[in-house]
């Protein structure tokens, strides 16, 4: 089974910590795609975001946007924990968001950043406002998935 065939309701173990996938957000703009999964650990109250673009995979959380509230001012580079990320693409993407309860479709503005070390950050403006998610590179060997 593909370790990243994740969907809401699937259990994921990261470094021996168990999480439940509660949401999946898939973005498409022409040939560009990336996916974000919200992982929750109810026992500790922890939430993390797993982000994939091409073969890069990153684990992190919600971050302050590098452009304040104005996505059109997204800079060509941004800093993530002392490491430079470059703007890979920006524009308008189709969003398909899936939870266990519903599926929602939308069009969103975005800026996608990637680092030489595999770090990823997506900045998205949707109906709920501006969101910035991502983090440091994650080795796939650290992930195990299970069906519920």
Residue 127 has pLDDT above 50, yes or no: yes
Query: Per the confidence metrics, is the pTM higher than 0.85?
Result: yes
The answer to whether position 1 is within a domain reads no
> How confident is the model over 27-79, as pLDDT tens digits?
999 999 999 999 999 678 889 999 998 888 999 988 887 766 777 777 888 88
The answer to whether position 70 is within a domain reads yes
Confidence of residue 107 (pLDDT cuts 50, 70, 90): very high
The answer to whether position 82 is within a domain reads yes
Instruction: Count the domains in the chain.
Output: 1
The answer to whether position 79 is within a domain reads yes
- Residue 30 pLDDT: 92
The DSSP line for the chain is --TT---TT-EEEETTEEEEEEEEEEEEETTEEEEEEEEEETTTTEEEEEEEETTEEEEEEE---TTTT-GGG--SEEEETTEEEEEEEEEEEEEEEE-SS-EEEEEEEEEEEEETTS-EEEEEEETTEEEEEEEEE--GGGEEEE--
The answer to whether position 92 is within a domain reads yes
Expressed as residue numbers, the domain containing 63 is 11-146
The answer to whether position 32 is within a domain reads yes
């Amino acid at each position: 089974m593909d370790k990243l065939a994740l969907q809401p309701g699937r259990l994921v173990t990261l470094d021996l910590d168990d999480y439940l996938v509660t949401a999946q957000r898939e973005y498409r703009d022409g040939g560009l795609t990336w996916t974000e999964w919200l992982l929750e650990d109810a026992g500790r109250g922890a939430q993390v975001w797993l982000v994939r673009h091409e073969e890069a995979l990153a684990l992190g959380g919600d971050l302050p946007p590098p452009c304040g509230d104005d996505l059109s001012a997204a800079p060509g580079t941004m800093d993530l924990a002392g490491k430079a990320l470059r703007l890979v693409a920006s524009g308008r993407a189709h969003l398909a968001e899936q939870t266990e309860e519903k599926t929602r479709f939308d069009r969103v503005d975005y800026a996608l950043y990637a680092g030489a070390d595999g770090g990823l950050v997506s900045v998205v403006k949707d109906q709920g406002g501006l969101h910035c998610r991502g983090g440091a590179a994650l080795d796939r060997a650290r992930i195990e998935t299970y069906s519920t």
